[in-house]
Amino acid sequence: MRVAGLTLGADFIAWLAQTFALVRKEILALVKDPANRTILFAPALMQALLFGYGATYDLTHVPYAVVDQSRSAASTELLARLDGTGVFRREAALASNAQIGDLIDSGKVLLAISIPSDFEHRLTVGDTAPIQIILDGRNSSTAGAAAGQIGAIVADYGRSLGGSPPITVERRAWYNPNLESRWTLMPAMIAALSFLQTLLLSALSVAREREQGTFDQLLVTPLGLMQILIGKAIPSILVGLIQSTIILLIIRFWFEIPMNGSYWLLYLGLVTFTAAGVGIGMSISALSLTMQQAMLYTFLLVMPLMLLSGMLTPVRNMPQILQLITYVNPLRFGIDMVRRIYLEGAVFADVALDFVPMLVVAAITLPLAAWLFRNRLA
Amino acid sequence: MSEPDITVAIEGLRKRFDAPDGKPFDAIDDISLTVRAGELTAFVGPDGAGKTTLMRMMAGLLRPDEGSLNVLGIDVRADPQSVQNRISYMPQRFGLYEDLSVQENLDLYADLHGVPQEVRRERFGRMLEMTDMARFTDRPAGKLSGGMKQKLGLACTLVRSPDLLLLDEPSVGVDPLSRRDLWKIIDQLIADEQLSVIVSTAYMDEAERCGQIFVFHHGRILADGPPDALRKRAEGLGYVADALPDRPARVLQARLIDAPDRIIDAVPKGGDVHFIRRPQCDEAALADLLSDTRVQPRDAELEDAFMLLLREHENEPAQAADDANTNKEDGDRYGTAETASPSAGERDGPVIVVRDLVRKFGDFTAVASTSFDVQRGEIFGLLGPNGAGKTTTFRMLCGLLPATSGHLEVAGVDLRTARAKARARIGYVSQKFALYGNLSVRENLEFFAGAYGLRGERKRERVKAVIAQFDLDASAQSGILPVGYKQRLAMAAGLLHEPDILFLDEPTSGIDPLARRAFWRTITSLAQGGVTIIITTHFMEEAEYCDRIAIQDAGELLALGTPAEVREQAGDDASDMNEAFIAIVEQNRARQTNEKVAA
């Protein structure tokens, strides 16, 4: 028994050494190419900064026009509160409602506030005093956000007048107290940005060797399919993790978004997620005969995966059938997992369900790729 | 310069390139030559000698750095367009549009060259007739065989009638039959249109047809003149020796080529050994090499003169190193060439068994019912035109492609289904010497050593051994090595784990003659050491090194046996393998036509 165990152990070490030779070769080939070196890490850095600054739904400097027919102390007070938030910028003071149309059409203002002449009078007699807001609905999310904000300011003003309304809403946004969209978007980038690159990298890995004829050379060595798979997958997963780390560092220390969860759990999730991505990439690669084909398939796949990930639009808003499809999209669960661990400090029990679909995808695509290595008909 | 009988006049021409390692070198180093009109002129020389660079400069595609270059009386530097209007140039890889049909390719090139409609019909008809492709006008160019593609390339080059035709290695990678057809077309054009043709070639029998030959080496011209004048240089140096009794001719050939101080060149040919001695070494000095065989003088051939020129200009120190390595390697593992030769009786059953092997792609049969055995320590050659099924057979043997039906066994197993470990017994050198280009020589070798399960001391030892054996520079980046070195690196990688069986797919294509001699010397000593060698080649004369060969055409096995048996099967007038090959393929094609007619 002891002897059998020993040879089994020796066999396993030999197996590992063989696989390691391939891992080493893959990493060398990756870093020795100067073009590769920059492509691997510069885009992650650049995109993280770009998304951090560029992609935001938060309102700042919303241009608006005002038609103040009341010209009273009350209306001046209300408008002063509006300007005081720093969110709104008064572009024009108009004489009549008829002038609003042009300004909104030309996009000079996003909204117009119309205060009727009896505004102060109604307030003093204790009546309801309606004011009108006209919004540019061509951009629904911004318009909605602006209207909400004005509503809050007006309600606030109403309360200050003493007439306390029967129900008030106290808003407390958990995990993102100021509801900054950067906080929602950036942690998702830890998964999303590295996903694109690892997918492409793994999609090219086998296709490149097929194109250059080295894949045959690899197949005639005693390396098993599992070994080739592992040898090719590990470098891609490593690159994905390094990219995720770069983005994580930028988010944590440059944009200073606080991390609430465990780094261990985050990385466990990222390994699972990247493995699923690499599995998809390797399957594409094993199917493609040339690098061009692999690239094409990858781009064909990336757009739907991004759209159906819930990164930009919530999955629950999608039609039922699309929601079902999102279950095979590792990006959806990767993003969900990262967001929850990062912002909410979720523990394993909270995000365990996110792991299941990612593991299933990895468990199907990785062996599929290995099978395709040899059985893809030339 | 405007003498009517001079087509090309070159004076002090120089072209400098940056080598991949950053150092500049002269691809064309102070060349002067004149080419006469209405004549066939050959540029011969090993790869990288400057033939292609010179042709591209003559076609106005590259600017010379120094010197004057007149083509058809026009200064190419000053006015490349008017030269291009009057010449036709066929590059090594002609730009056929693979998705367009034969006819559409012809139309396209006629459009590009502005050939008037009324001329086209006659010209196309003639081209299609000469290339024997009238039946295939609707077929996409991508679906033609290699030889047919080359013929179509020539037809497209000749959609108009040029004053000068430049052909850059038109027959490289083309089988003997297609090669013969190509030359028929060229001969006919010269006869009909008094065309001036410059052709670069690696084949001496092609150079022999030309009126004037220029021998290039390292960007210089080593010699020039008509074939007879060149041949005279090797006059009196050539001999034929009988092969040693009961030994393949390559045994004696190896002995001779291992004595480079006395012997310029030796090749097995027609069952004998043809060799040439160094001029400064007289016959008496050869006695000890040839004590056990019969030697007769023979007439000099062009190839002899070519080898003589190359050897004389070879870098002497590098040569010495090569020889030392060859000898050391013999001593190390394989014993000297002539000891321990396993005779046929001692061999212990076939190492490779192929029975009724079939491979189909859709309704196309790439390999039709093929059977053969290969014995241990045998050199087995698979010969055939491009697209004959060699590579498909090869890939099935290596387990890279499943067979449609039939039985195959390599070292007792089917490599496709056997455990991965079984593959440790074979070595494989692929057609393009596929290696990882951005890794260094050492990194490539270390990877393959690791992949073959070598570790620790043994790995270090083997990597060091093959680097020495093949005289490689360990730190060089493998992607920018010259093709000869790539081949050596691929061989080194294939032999790291000392396999019992070595598969070589077209290992000598694109390799110059000196490197080919060295390559075959390695192969013969491997076989001597009991390694079984399976090799594909389109150089028919290389079949002479093999113990047995199989000839395939259109997927069918046409001949199988020793080179002598195959020559016999071909009939009386087949003096060398080239002719034997053509005869056998033609006999088969004629038989098939007869069968069709009968049916």
Asked if the structure places residue A7 within a domain, the reply is no
Average pLDDT over residues A71-82: 86
Asked whether residue A217 falls in the same domain as residue A196, the answer is yes
Asked if the structure places residue A254 within a domain, the reply is yes
Inter-chain touch A14–B453, beta carbons under 8 Å:
yes
Which residues of chain B make contact with A33, given a CB cutoff of 8 A? 438
Q: Taking all residues of chain B, what is their mean pLDDT, rounded to a whole number?
A: 84
pLDDT in tens, A187-223: 888 898 889 888 988 998 888 888 888 888 888 888 8
A262 exposure class (CB count in 10 Å sphere: 0-12, 13-18, 19+): middle
Element (H, E) at A39: helix A34-54
Q: B243-282: string of b/e by CB count within 10 Å (b at 16+)?
A: bbeeebbbbbbbbbbbbbebbbbbbbbbebbbbbbbeeee
B421: nearest CA in chain A? A222
Q: Is the pLDDT of residue B340 over 50?
A: no
Helix ranges (DSSP H) in B470-576 = 483-495, 513-528, 563-570
pLDDT at B219: 87
A127 Cβ contact list (under 8 Å, min separation 6) = none
Inter-chain touch A218–B436, beta carbons under 8 Å:
no
Q: Is the pLDDT of residue B529 over 70?
A: yes
Q: Is the pLDDT of residue B327 over 50?
A: no
pLDDT at A164: 58
- B229 pLDDT band, cuts 50/70/90, is very high
Residue A303 C-beta-side C-alpha neighbours within 13 Å: 4
pLDDT at B461: 93
Asked whether residue A130 falls in the same domain as residue A227, the answer is no
Report percent pLDDT > 70 for chain B: 92
- A241 pLDDT band, cuts 50/70/90, is very high
Asked if the structure places residue A140 within a domain, the reply is yes
Inter-chain touch A214–B395, beta carbons under 8 Å:
no
Q: Is the pLDDT of residue B199 over 90?
A: yes
Mean pLDDT is highest, among A34-43, A55-64, A67-76, B219-228, for B219-228
pLDDT at B341: 45
Asked whether residue A36 falls in the same domain as residue A92, the answer is no
Average pLDDT over residues B189-196: 84
- B503 pLDDT band, cuts 50/70/90, is very high
Asked whether residue A271 falls in the same domain as residue A358, the answer is yes
Q: Which residue has the tokens 């629950």?
A: A316
Q: Is the pLDDT of residue B488 over 70?
A: yes
Asked whether residue A42 falls in the same domain as residue A68, the answer is no
A182 Cβ contact list (under 8 Å, min separation 6) = A52, A56, A58, A255, A257
- B528 pLDDT band, cuts 50/70/90, is confident
> Is B438 part of the contact surface with chain A (CB cutoff 8 Å)?
yes
Nearest to B453 among A18, A29, A374 (CB): A18
pLDDT at B362: 80
Higher per-residue pLDDT: A242 or B540:
A242
pLDDT at A149: 83
Nearest CA to CA, how far is A22 from chain B (Å)?
7
Instruction: Count the residues in chain B.
Output: 599
- B324 pLDDT band, cuts 50/70/90, is very low
Pairwise CA distance, residues B382 & B495, whole Å: 20
> Is A73 part of the contact surface with chain B (CB cutoff 8 Å)?
no
pLDDT at A1: 44
Asked whether residue A85 falls in the same domain as residue A148, the answer is yes
Average pLDDT over residues A24-49: 83
Kindly report the number of other CB atoms within 10 A of residue A168's CB atom. Answer: 10
Range with the lowest mean pLDDT among B334-348, B443-457, B548-562? B334-348
> Is A28 part of the contact surface with chain B (CB cutoff 8 Å)?
yes
Pairwise CA distance, residues A31 & A33, whole Å: 5
Which residues of chain A make contact with B435, given a CB cutoff of 8 A? 214, 217
> Is A219 part of the contact surface with chain B (CB cutoff 8 Å)?
yes
- B318 pLDDT band, cuts 50/70/90, is very low
In this structure, what token pair is assigned to residue B157? 């080059």
pLDDT in tens, B239-275: 888 888 878 888 888 888 888 888 888 988 888 889 9
Mean pLDDT is highest, among B2-11, B371-380, B576-585, for B371-380
- A362 pLDDT band, cuts 50/70/90, is very high
Pairwise CA distance, residues B485 & B489, whole Å: 6
Pairwise CA distance, residues B21 & B477, whole Å: 9
Pairwise CA distance, residues B441 & B456, whole Å: 19
- B460 pLDDT band, cuts 50/70/90, is very high
Asked whether residue A208 falls in the same domain as residue A349, the answer is yes
Range with the lowest mean pLDDT among B47-51, B98-102, B121-125? B47-51
**Does domain B6-230 sit in CATH 3.40.50.300?**
yes
Which residues of chain A make contact with B426, given a CB cutoff of 8 A? 220
Inter-chain touch A217–B434, beta carbons under 8 Å:
yes
Average pLDDT over residues B97-107: 90
First-to-final CA distance of chain B = 63
Pairwise CA distance, residues B453 & B469, whole Å: 21
Inter-chain touch A222–B451, beta carbons under 8 Å:
yes
Using DSSP, state whether B476 is helix, strand or coil.
coil
pLDDT at A374: 79
8 A C-beta contact, residue B64 and residue B13 = yes
Asked whether residue A28 falls in the same domain as residue A113, the answer is no
Q: Is the pLDDT of residue B424 over 60?
A: yes
Asked whether residue A112 falls in the same domain as residue A152, the answer is yes
Inter-chain touch A25–B400, beta carbons under 8 Å:
no
Which residues of chain A make contact with B434, given a CB cutoff of 8 A? 212-214, 216-217
pLDDT at B315: 53
Range with the lowest mean pLDDT among A22-36, A172-186, B5-19, B536-550? A172-186
Asked if the structure places residue A168 within a domain, the reply is no
Pairwise CA distance, residues B460 & B437, whole Å: 22
A374: nearest CA in chain B? B400
pLDDT at A296: 93
A35: nearest CA in chain B? B438
pLDDT at B4: 59
Among A270, A275, A273, A276, CA closest to A342: A270
Among B565, A81, B144, B298, CA closest to B155: B144
Comma-separated ranges of CATH 3.30.70 domains in chain B: 233-313
Asked whether residue A155 falls in the same domain as residue A274, the answer is no
Q: Is the pLDDT of residue B328 over 60?
A: no
Q: Which residues pair with B353 in a beta bridge?
A: B373, B409
Q: Which residues pair with B549 in a beta bridge?
A: B381, B561
> Is B436 part of the contact surface with chain A (CB cutoff 8 Å)?
yes
Average pLDDT over residues B413-439: 83
B380 Cβ contact list (under 8 Å, min separation 6) = B352, B372, B374, B532, B533, B534, B535, B546, B547, B548, B549, B550
B416: nearest CA in chain A? A374
pLDDT at B381: 93
- A294 pLDDT band, cuts 50/70/90, is very high
Range with the lowest mean pLDDT among A37-41, A209-213, A289-293, B159-163? A37-41
Helix ranges (DSSP H) in B411-482 = 441-451, 456-469
Q: Is the pLDDT of residue A366 over 50?
A: yes
Output DSSP code: residue B73. T
Question: For an interface test with B, which of A211, A216, A218, A226 has the most B Cβ atoms less than 10 Å from its Cβ?
Answer: A216
Look up the CATH number of the domain holding residue A85. 3.40.1710.10
Comma-separated ranges of CATH 3.40.50.300 domains in chain B: 6-230
pLDDT at A377: 54
B483-495 and B441-451 helices cross at what angle (nearest 10)?
30
Which residues of chain A make contact with B491, given a CB cutoff of 8 A? none
pLDDT at A81: 86
**Parent domain of A253:** 23-55+180-375
Nearest CA to CA, how far is B379 from chain A (Å)?
20
Range with the lowest mean pLDDT among A233-237, B525-529, B576-580? B576-580
Q: Which residue has the tokens 């093999």?
A: B546
Pairwise CA distance, residues B518 & B274, whole Å: 16
The count of structural domains within chain A is 2
Range with the lowest mean pLDDT among A155-164, A352-361, B53-62, B166-175? A155-164
Q: Is the pLDDT of residue B345 over 60?
A: no
pLDDT at A360: 94
In this structure, what token pair is assigned to residue B559? 């001949």
Q: Which CATH class is domain B233-313?
A: alpha beta
B411 exposure class (CB count in 10 Å sphere: 0-12, 13-18, 19+): middle
Q: Is the pLDDT of residue A290 over 60?
A: yes
pLDDT at A167: 64
Average pLDDT over residues B177-195: 85
pLDDT in tens, B553-570: 878 888 899 888 888 888
Cα-based distances in Å from B384 to A17, B146, B220, B553 = 41, 12, 35, 6
pLDDT at B329: 40
First-to-final CA distance of chain A = 45
The β-bridge relationship of strands B66-71 and B40-44 is unpaired
Asked whether residue A213 falls in the same domain as residue A356, the answer is yes
Q: Is the pLDDT of residue B435 over 70?
A: yes
Asked whether residue A66 falls in the same domain as residue A50, the answer is no
- B325 pLDDT band, cuts 50/70/90, is very low
Nearest to B451 among A21, A29, A213 (CB): A21
Q: Is the pLDDT of residue B343 over 70?
A: no
pLDDT at B379: 93
B424: nearest CA in chain A? A222
Q: Is the pLDDT of residue B178 over 60?
A: yes
Nearest to A29 among B420, B423, B436 (CB): B436
pLDDT in tens, A118-168: 888 888 887 888 888 888 888 777 788 888 888 888 888 887 776 655 566
Among B593, B587, B519, CA closest to B553: B587
